[in-house]
Amino acid sequence: MNTSTTGQPVGPLTAQPGKYLTFTLGRERYGLPVLVVREIIRLCPITPVASMPPHVRGVINLRGKVIPVVDLRIRFGLPDPVDHDRTCIVITQVAAAGGGSRPYGAIVDGVEEVAAYAADDLVPTPDFGTSIDTRFITGMARSGAGVVTLIDLEAIARADREPT
Amino acid sequence: MTVESPPPAAAARRLLQQIGLEMAFLDLASPGGGSAGAVLAGLLMELESAVALAPEPIKRLTAKARECTTPLPAAMPDFILSLADWLSDWHAWMEEAVASWERGLQLPSVPQPLETIPGATASTPVTAVAAPPPRPGPDASVSAPPRRLVLDDPAGHQDVTVLPQEADPELVRLFCAESHDLLRDVEQGVLVLEGTPNDPDTLATVFRAFHTLKGNAAVMKLADLHRLAHEVESLLDAARRGGRSLDRDAIDVILAAADCFTRFVTEMARQVEGLSPGQSLSLPVPAILAAVAHLLAAAPAPEAARGQAPTPPPAPRSAVGAGEPAAATPPPSPAPAARATEPTASAGPAPAAASAPLTTAGTSIRVDTHKLDGLIDLVGELVIAQSMVVQGTTAERPPDEHLARALARLRGITSDLQRTAMGLRMVPIRGTFQKMARLVRDTAAELGKDVRLVLEGEDTELDRTVIEQIGDPLVHMIRNAIDHGLEPPATRTTAGKPPTGTIRLSAFHQGGFVVVRITDDGRGLDPARIRGKAIERGLIGPDTVLDDRETLDLIFAAGFSTAEQVTGLSGRGVGMDVVRRNIEGIRGKIEIDSVTGAGTTFTMYMPLTLAIIEGLLVAVGDQRFVVPTLSVRESLRPLPGDITTVHGRGELVNVRGRLVPLLRMGPHVGVAARATSPADGIVVVVEAGQECRGLLVDHLLGKQEVVIKSLGETFAGRHGFAGAAILGDGRVGLILDTNALVRLKPTIAGSAA
Query: In terms of pLDDT, which residue wins out, B746 or B571?
Result: B746
- The superfamily CATH assigns to domain A18-159 is CheA-289, Domain 4 (2.40.50.180)
User: How high is the pLDDT of residue B562?
Assistant: 52
User: How high is the pLDDT of residue B648?
Assistant: 60
Q: Let me know whether B446 and B544 are in one domain.
A: yes
Query: In terms of pLDDT, which residue wins out, A4 or B708?
Result: B708
Q: Measured between CA atoms, how close is A4 to chain B, in angstroms?
A: 36
* CA–CA distance, B12 with B126 (Å, rounded to integer): 26
* CA–CA distance, B58 with A44 (Å, rounded to integer): 72
* CA–CA distance, B54 with B62 (Å, rounded to integer): 10
Which residue in chain A has the smallest CA separation from B275? A99
Residues of A in contact with B714 (CB under 8 A): 56, 68, 104, 157, 160-161
Q: Measured between CA atoms, how close is B124 to chain A, in angstroms?
A: 49
Q: Measured between CA atoms, how close is B192 to chain A, in angstroms?
A: 38
Local confidence band at B612 (pLDDT 50, 70, 90 cut-offs): confident
User: How high is the pLDDT of residue B70?
Assistant: 62
In the predicted model, what is the mean pLDDT of residues B232-240? Answer: 84
User: Which of B3-12, B165-174, B189-198, B256-265 shows the highest mean pLDDT?
Assistant: B256-265
* CA–CA distance, B277 with B171 (Å, rounded to integer): 19
DSSP H stretches of helix in B70-222: 77-103, 112-115, 125-130, 169-195, 200-219
Which of A115-124, B205-214, B305-314, B380-389 is predicted least confidently? Answer: B305-314
| Local structure of B219: helix, strand or coil | helix
Is B136 inside any structural domain?
Answer: no
Q: Let me know whether B382 and B499 are in one domain.
A: no
Which residue in chain B has the smallest CA separation from A48? B623
- Burial class (CB within 10 angstroms; exposed 0-12, middle 13-18, buried 19+) of B648: exposed
Q: Do A63 and B724 touch (CB under 8 A)?
A: no
Cα separation values, B151 from B146, B287, B443, Å: 11, 7, 17
Q: Let me know whether B452 and B532 are in one domain.
A: yes
Q: Do B726 and A50 touch (CB under 8 A)?
A: no
User: How high is the pLDDT of residue A47?
Assistant: 93
pLDDT exceeds cutoff 50 at B322: no
Query: In terms of pLDDT, which residue wins out, B230 or B80?
Result: B230
Q: Does A146 touch chain B (CB under 8 A)?
A: no
Q: Let me know whether B595 and B627 are in one domain.
A: no
Q: What is the CATH number of the domain that holds B219?
A: 1.20.120.160
User: How high is the pLDDT of residue B275?
Assistant: 76
User: How high is the pLDDT of residue B705?
Assistant: 78
Q: Which long-range contacts (CB under 8 A, 24 or more apart) does B530-539 make?
A: B530/B554, B530/B555, B533/B560, B534/B560, B537/B562
Q: Do B670 and A48 touch (CB under 8 A)?
A: yes
Closest to A47 in 3D by CA, of B707, B386, B668, B669: B669
* CA–CA distance, B740 with B734 (Å, rounded to integer): 14
pLDDT exceeds cutoff 70 at B100: yes
Closest to B377 in 3D by CA, of B710, B643, B105: B710
Contact assessment for residue B680 and residue B705, using Cβ atoms and an 8 Å cutoff = no
Q: Let me know whether B448 and B572 are in one domain.
A: yes
User: How high is the pLDDT of residue B324?
Assistant: 35
* CA–CA distance, B76 with B68 (Å, rounded to integer): 12
Q: Domain range holding B484?
A: 428-607
Mutation for testing the A interface, residue in B383, B732, B741 having most A CBs under 10 Å: B732
In the predicted model, what is the mean pLDDT of residues B102-121? Answer: 72
Is B275 inside any structural domain?
Answer: yes
CA angle B276, B433, B481 (to 5 degrees): 95
Read off the pLDDT of residues B424-443 as tens digits, 9 standing for 90 and up: 888 889 888 888 888 898 88
User: How high is the pLDDT of residue A25?
Assistant: 92
Is B363 inside any structural domain?
Answer: no
DSSP assignment of B347-413 equals GTTHHHHS-TTTS-SS------HHHHHHHHHHHHHHHHHHHHHHHHHHHHSPPPHHHHHHHHHHHHH
Which residue in chain A has the smallest CA separation from B710? A66
pLDDT exceeds cutoff 80 at A50: yes
The CA-based diameter of chain B, rounded to the nearest angstrom, is: 111
pLDDT exceeds cutoff 70 at B358: no
pLDDT exceeds cutoff 90 at B161: no
Residues of A in contact with B273 (CB under 8 A): 99
User: Which of A66-80, B360-374, B387-401, B535-549 shows the highest mean pLDDT?
Assistant: A66-80
Q: Do B718 and A60 touch (CB under 8 A)?
A: no
Handedness of CA B729, B734, B735, B738 (dihedral sign): negative
Local confidence band at B561 (pLDDT 50, 70, 90 cut-offs): low
pLDDT exceeds cutoff 80 at B84: no
Local confidence band at A59 (pLDDT 50, 70, 90 cut-offs): very high
Q: Measured between CA atoms, how close is B665 to chain A, in angstroms?
A: 11
Q: Measured between CA atoms, how close is A160 to chain B, in angstroms?
A: 6
pLDDT exceeds cutoff 80 at A115: yes
Contact assessment for residue B607 and residue B685, using Cβ atoms and an 8 Å cutoff = no
Q: Do A64 and B381 touch (CB under 8 A)?
A: yes
In the predicted model, what is the mean pLDDT of residues A145-163? Answer: 86
Q: Which H or E run contains B517?
A: strand B513-520
Contact residues for A156 (Cβ-Cβ < 8 A; gap 6+): A70, A72, A75, A106, A136
User: How high is the pLDDT of residue B568?
Assistant: 45
| Nearest-10 Cα torsion for B284, B287, B291, B293 | 110
Q: Let me know whether B421 and B432 are in one domain.
A: no
User: How high is the pLDDT of residue B465?
Assistant: 78
In the predicted model, what is the mean pLDDT of residues A31-54? Answer: 91
Residues of B in contact with A102 (CB under 8 A): 712-713
Residues of A in contact with B726 (CB under 8 A): 61, 64, 66
Distance, C-alpha B51 to centroid of its chain? 38
In the predicted model, what is the mean pLDDT of residues B535-543? Answer: 82
Contact assessment for residue B731 and residue A60, using Cβ atoms and an 8 Å cutoff = no
Query: In terms of pLDDT, which residue wins out, B304 or B496?
Result: B496
Is B225 inside any structural domain?
Answer: yes
User: How high is the pLDDT of residue B119?
Assistant: 55
Q: What's phi and psi for B140, nearest 5 deg?
A: -90, 0
Contact assessment for residue B158 and residue B283, using Cβ atoms and an 8 Å cutoff = yes
Q: Does A101 touch chain B (CB under 8 A)?
A: no
Q: Do B710 and A66 touch (CB under 8 A)?
A: yes
pLDDT exceeds cutoff 50 at B485: yes
Is B1 inside any structural domain?
Answer: no
Contact assessment for residue A87 and residue A43, using Cβ atoms and an 8 Å cutoff = yes
Contact residues for B733 (Cβ-Cβ < 8 A; gap 6+): A47, B617, B624, B625, B626, B706, B724, B725, B726, B727
Mutation for testing the B interface, residue in A62, A65, A89 having most B CBs under 10 Å: A65
Domain count across chain B = 5
Mutation for testing the A interface, residue in B714, B729, B731, B737 having most A CBs under 10 Å: B714
The type of residue at B170 is E
- Look over chain B and give the mean of its residue pLDDT values, rounded to a whole number: 75
User: How high is the pLDDT of residue B566?
Assistant: 46
pLDDT exceeds cutoff 80 at A11: no
What percentage of chain B carries pLDDT values higher than 70?
A: 76
* DSSP 8-state class, residue A126: B
Query: In terms of pLDDT, which residue wins out, B160 or B524?
Result: B524
Query: In terms of pLDDT, which residue wins out, B445 or B306?
Result: B445
Q: Do B732 and A47 touch (CB under 8 A)?
A: yes
Contact assessment for residue B191 and residue B437, using Cβ atoms and an 8 Å cutoff = yes
Which of B60-74, B241-255, B481-495, B532-546 is predicted least confidently? Answer: B60-74
Which of A94-98, B682-686, B732-736 is predicted least confidently? Answer: A94-98
pLDDT exceeds cutoff 80 at B24: no
Cα separation values, B412 from B309, B415, B745, Å: 58, 5, 48
Residues of B at the A interface, defined by Cβ within 8 angstroms: 273-275, 376-381, 623, 668-671, 709-718, 720-721, 724, 726, 730-734
Q: Let me know whether B181 and B249 are in one domain.
A: yes
pLDDT exceeds cutoff 70 at A13: yes
Which residue in chain A has the smallest CA separation from B375? A64
* CA–CA distance, A11 with A147 (Å, rounded to integer): 18
Contact assessment for residue B569 and residue B443, using Cβ atoms and an 8 Å cutoff = yes
Q: Does A118 touch chain B (CB under 8 A)?
A: no
User: Which of A50-54, A119-123, B623-627, B713-717 shows the highest mean pLDDT?
Assistant: B623-627
pLDDT exceeds cutoff 80 at A27: yes
Q: Let me know whether B403 and B486 are in one domain.
A: no
In the predicted model, what is the mean pLDDT of residues B99-122? Answer: 72
Query: In terms of pLDDT, which residue wins out, B69 or A5?
Result: B69
Which residue in chain B has the smallest CA separation from A163? B717
Q: Which long-range contacts (CB under 8 A, 24 or more apart) does B133-141 make?
A: B133/B286, B134/B74, B134/B158, B134/B285, B134/B286, B135/B31, B135/B74, B136/B31
User: How high is the pLDDT of residue B80?
Assistant: 58
Q: Let me know whether B100 and B168 are in one domain.
A: no
Q: Let me know whether B165 and B223 are in one domain.
A: yes
In the predicted model, what is the mean pLDDT of residues B61-88? Answer: 67
* CA–CA distance, B288 with B126 (Å, rounded to integer): 13
Query: In terms of pLDDT, which residue wins out, A1 or A145?
Result: A145
Contact assessment for residue B580 and residue B476, using Cβ atoms and an 8 Å cutoff = no
User: How high is the pLDDT of residue B282?
Assistant: 81
Q: Let me know whether B421 and B440 are in one domain.
A: no
pLDDT exceeds cutoff 50 at B345: no
Closest by Cβ to A65, choosing from B377, B670, B714: B377
Mutation for testing the B interface, residue in A61, A89, A162 having most B CBs under 10 Å: A61
Closest by Cβ to A59, choosing from B380, B720, B724: B724
Contact assessment for residue A5 and residue A124, using Cβ atoms and an 8 Å cutoff = no
Angle between helices B200-219 and B169-195 (to 10 degrees): 160
* CA–CA distance, A50 with B720 (Å, rounded to integer): 9
Query: In terms of pLDDT, which residue wins out, A132 or A14?
Result: A14
pLDDT exceeds cutoff 80 at B451: yes
Full-model pTM: 0.54
Residues of B in contact with A96 (CB under 8 A): 713
Residues of A in contact with B375 (CB under 8 A): none
Residues of B in contact with A50 (CB under 8 A): 668-671, 720
* DSSP 8-state class, residue B658: E
CB pairs under 8 A between A and B: 73
> 36-75 in A: which are within 8 Å (CB) of B?
45, 47-52, 56, 58-61, 63-68
Q: Do B714 and A104 touch (CB under 8 A)?
A: yes
Q: Let me know whether B103 and B158 are in one domain.
A: no
- Look over chain A and give the mean of its residue pLDDT values, rounded to a whole number: 85
pLDDT exceeds cutoff 50 at B461: yes
Q: Does A164 touch chain B (CB under 8 A)?
A: no
